[in-house]
Chains A and B, each alone.
Chain A
């Protein structure tokens, strides 16, 4: 596959335009470019291990350009890029579909200067770019379970193959769960389960999983750290943190559950890019086979967006194109996106805040069930979401939560959200009463 790109005037290294000093020693030093490389300014939130390697390889492939990296988390990148001159940025390169979509609406991007027709536009139900052609996926990541096989074997527990396996009460306290309202990568996981099992069943499943969980307030390696330290046996995670830990020597496995989805990371060029040719070169490099192959580095471990980049990787390597061809990866991340903050907030109010209260109720119910005393109403109450799906899909609600998150006090829930917590509390109260009455 070839992506056409005309590098314009390629300023190759010729002549000796040395401005320097102390060139003592023997012989003429290697020659340098007559004119300095032109700067390509890239805004990103990728970790330095990733950025530095791409930088080195890009500058090697395109010596006429030099990368300047402006590092900002997505919530900081958006206002920076929205400045009329985009803060000097040519490219935005990040794993934040929401930010790309939002800035596309704000007219921040120009049409991508590449012929992306040659690249796949979809894997499973995940779109690899927007329909208008402002941004395209540069890598993808999948969601699943970090597991310590020995920790599970020791307890006589099987390896989990899907989300439903996580509700097994024998996993009590053993699941490291990144809190969706706090950890950037976590919200799509909430939605994967809701899409796969439906609104009611999905929340009921989350509630029972939460009752097994140790909530983790920070992302990145903090989930695998819990497993490494022996405090947990399973961690819910996005794949690359775990696969990178494994490539660095951690005795873990990563399992892609039967129901899972992908988080595409994108790249876009700013409308007023000061160096559009350089920006195009960078985009082309990232999407090229060479650029995509760098994603296999032990410290990066992202999934390539090119099927041909999987050739030569070990057969055990998860290949989302193959998984999709077999009917997997049915999660539609675009459909889930508008609701991500809402479901993360529901998760917080219904499950995380009252976790200490919720967990023992589940334990009592599970004990009763094991003793042959099913209490279906208690099960229903503990798993019932405080609002129905139609209410959760209300754009006005999404806006209100969006405003809160961008406002002065992003951590203080709106009255509406607090009301969800109260509904959930009433449900727990009713459940407790029924458990008491049943002597469970």
Chain B
């Protein structure tokens, strides 16, 4: 496989528009229209069976997820309080169409849908990362007028060839990171971690998996040198330790806290769970800026958006009956992928929500942390996750992202442009699986990739 020449984003966008223009207009007087071939709402639908009242709640949550937030003070009091420091204006800036983000192609391009976590070596009081004294635990590139953004992160791509057993070569790229315009002094020796936004469909089911299920999964003896451990994080609502499951290092215990964390971390919106603005002592303009209420996101709003994300239906399978896809599914198990990317999880009881309770579903993750080898390592521990560990990426939805997100990258930092590239970066506990993939013949590889595309 050859590296595709990098099209300018502009022409990519234009081409994307043209691609769809095709489906758009049904003229007056023609009743039977061909339904669109591409369904770009596939990650935005509710689980079936919402009552009218729940549907209303779902939509209110959806509005909040799509809302561009407003600088305080404003008449729009329900949605003000952006920043003072932030990354993007809206949840959908990074999770466009509830989908996935990607990495910029060039160093001077902004990160439109990813972020950089920061910390110093050591731990905070809850066992989590130790925030940088001046920059906190996430680089907020933007500031509202009057408050300097923290600085800019730039990705520089490096390339190498990977060779498969049959001689096929695949060009891989990986990023290095630099900063500019640092507004609050030197970063010094800081640990950094690049994160591309994952899609957000089906999270209610993942939230409903019981801790004991995850602990049992971790305790299972697994083949190929695969281990898998739970992260143990801090639940702000209970003040107790809890098994982590959200975030790319399973660094958040539940959906509600993950959402509240995103509000404060990515957009500077305080909530009942995170009541403090994310201004450090060095950031005086930030601390002095007007806020949009205390907290800015009300408990009701947090409930609504949590309800929305919890009740988003998982991505539906496509073409799962095709012989090639079935072959690929078999290879997925044979190569050892399914040891981590679990094809079945079972949820526990969720009070008042039969749609989420005791469901068997197929996220293709175990929500556990795995050592993925030095090449994927970020060197930045997070609670019990060490610098080489990542949560097994859920693979459901992998095949719909092409239709939804023109900028998308796989793996935590978006380096992989295709599923095949992602596989070739696997190392550590997944080294055996990677080797098997390299040895697989062309037909087997094509079947495996077709299977991934059907998820």
B2 at the interface (CB under 8 A from A): no
- In the complex, the answer to whether B41 meets A29 with C-beta atoms within 8 Å is no
B24 at the interface (CB under 8 A from A): yes
B288 at the interface (CB under 8 A from A): no
A19 to B107, CA, bound (A): 13
Report B31-62 CB contacts with A as 1/0, cut-off 8 Å.
Answer: 11101101111100000000000000001000
- In the complex, the answer to whether A249 meets B182 with C-beta atoms within 8 Å is no
- In the complex, the answer to whether B41 meets A60 with C-beta atoms within 8 Å is no
Report B80-112 CB contacts with A as 1/0, cut-off 8 Å.
Answer: 001000001110110011000000001111101
- In the complex, the answer to whether A250 meets B10 with C-beta atoms within 8 Å is no
Report B177-188 CB contacts with A as 1/0, cut-off 8 Å.
Answer: 111111000010
Interface of B is mostly: loop
Report B11-45 CB contacts with A as 1/0, cut-off 8 Å.
Answer: 00110111011111111111111011011111000
Q: Which of B21, B82, B407 contacts A317 (CB 8 A)?
A: B21
Inside 8 A of B75's CB, which chain A residues have their CB? Answer: 73, 75-76
Listed stretches B149-157, B217-225, B361-369, B442-450; interface member: B149-157
- In the complex, the answer to whether A32 meets B36 with C-beta atoms within 8 Å is no
B301 at the interface (CB under 8 A from A): no
- In the complex, the answer to whether A246 meets B26 with C-beta atoms within 8 Å is yes
A24-B176, A61-B10 known; A29-B31 Cβ under 8 A: no
Listed stretches B66-74, B323-331, B383-391, B418-426; interface member: B66-74
A60-B8, A71-B70 known; A254-B26 Cβ under 8 A: yes
A432 at the interface (CB under 8 A from B): no
- Interface size counted on chain B using CB atoms at 8 A: 74
Q: Which of A19, A60, A317 contacts B25 (CB 8 A)?
A: A317
A418 at the interface (CB under 8 A from B): no
Distance in Å from the Cβ of B201 to the closest Cβ of chain A?
15
A249 to B42, CA, bound (A): 9
A30 at the interface (CB under 8 A from B): yes
Instruction: Give the nearest-CB partner of A317 in chain B.
Output: B25
B354 at the interface (CB under 8 A from A): no
Distance in Å from the Cβ of B428 to the closest Cβ of chain A?
19
- In the complex, the answer to whether B28 meets A161 with C-beta atoms within 8 Å is yes
A235 at the interface (CB under 8 A from B): no
Inside 8 A of A99's CB, which chain B residues have their CB? Answer: none
Inside 8 A of B110's CB, which chain A residues have their CB? Answer: 55-56, 59, 66
- In the complex, the answer to whether A25 meets B17 with C-beta atoms within 8 Å is no
Report A293-331 CB contacts with B as 1/0, cut-off 8 Å.
Answer: 110111101000000000011101110000000000000
A21 to B182, CA, bound (A): 12
Instruction: Give the nearest-CB partner of A257 in chain B.
Output: B28
- Interface size counted on chain A using CB atoms at 8 A: 80
Inside 8 A of A255's CB, which chain B residues have their CB? Answer: 28
- In the complex, the answer to whether B13 meets A314 with C-beta atoms within 8 Å is no
A36-B152, A66-B110, A68-B145 known; A48-B179 Cβ under 8 A: no
- In the complex, the answer to whether B35 meets A251 with C-beta atoms within 8 Å is yes
B137 at the interface (CB under 8 A from A): no
A36 to B24, CA, bound (A): 41
- In the complex, the answer to whether B31 meets A152 with C-beta atoms within 8 Å is yes
Instruction: Give the nearest-CB partner of A57 in chain B.
Output: B10
B146 at the interface (CB under 8 A from A): yes
A290 at the interface (CB under 8 A from B): yes
A72 at the interface (CB under 8 A from B): yes
A37 to B182, CA, bound (A): 14
- In the complex, the answer to whether B89 meets A32 with C-beta atoms within 8 Å is no
Inside 8 A of A312's CB, which chain B residues have their CB? Answer: 18
Inside 8 A of A290's CB, which chain B residues have their CB? Answer: 10, 14
- In the complex, the answer to whether B70 meets A298 with C-beta atoms within 8 Å is no
A69-B89, A71-B89, A316-B27 known; A57-B17 Cβ under 8 A: no
Instruction: Give the nearest-CB partner of A19 in chain B.
Output: B180
- In the complex, the answer to whether B68 meets A251 with C-beta atoms within 8 Å is no
Q: Which of B385-440 contact A (CB under 8 A)?
A: 407
A76-B76, A246-B36 known; A298-B20 Cβ under 8 A: yes
Q: Which of A341-377 contact B (CB under 8 A)?
A: none
Inside 8 A of B189's CB, which chain A residues have their CB? Answer: 21
Inside 8 A of A336's CB, which chain B residues have their CB? Answer: none
B174 at the interface (CB under 8 A from A): yes
Q: Which of A32, A36, A60, A70 contacts B178 (CB 8 A)?
A: A32
Known: A33-B108, A316-B27. 18 other contacts (CB 8 A): A25-B158, A29-B176, A36-B152, A48-B66, A49-B92, A55-B110, A59-B110, A60-B109, A63-B108, A69-B89, A73-B76, A159-B28, A161-B28, A246-B36, A247-B21, A251-B36, A297-B20, A316-B26
8 cross-chain CB contacts under 8 A? A19-B178, A29-B154, A30-B106, A47-B66, A63-B108, A88-B145, A297-B13, A298-B40
The 10 closest A-B pairs by CB, nearest first: A20-B178, A29-B156, A253-B26, A88-B145, A249-B39, A71-B68, A149-B31, A316-B25, A248-B40, A249-B36
Q: Could you tell me which A residues sit within 8 Å of B by CB distance?
A: 13, 17-27, 29-33, 36-37, 41, 47-49, 51-53, 55-57, 59-61, 63, 66, 68-73, 75-76, 80, 87-89, 149-150, 152-153, 159, 161, 222, 225, 243, 246-256, 290, 293-294, 296-299, 301, 312-314, 316-318
